[in-house]
Amino acid sequence: MSIAARHYDVVVAPVITEKSTILSENNQVVFEVAIDANKTEIKDAIEALFSVTVTAVNTIRVKGKTKRFRGIPGRRKDVKKAVVTLKDGDMIDIADVL
């Protein structure tokens, strides 16, 4: 797999919530990333895909909830999120990403 293809595998989707919108005022963007991606890979992927400079990456692993579907217990998948801090002046427009 080429490096460019791996960038698309690392960044899964932007996270659009009330909290992530508030973070965008502090020059931060939240992405769902691959569960096995590390901070260096996330930084390289964001810089390559969006042509911005990343100053910090913070990651969060969210364990999947146990839920019932038609009476049968199931489990949601585990998710890894990355809060990416951008250099002053850089920005990622989430509307263009979708």
CA–CA separation, 51 and 92 (whole Å) = 9
- Among left, alpha and beta (phi > 0; psi -120 to 50; other), residue 96 is alpha
Per-residue pLDDT tens for 7-62?
Answer: 889 999 999 999 999 998 999 999 999 999 999 999 999 999 999 999 999 999 99
Reported pTM: 0.87
Domain 3-88 has CATH 3.30.70.330: yes
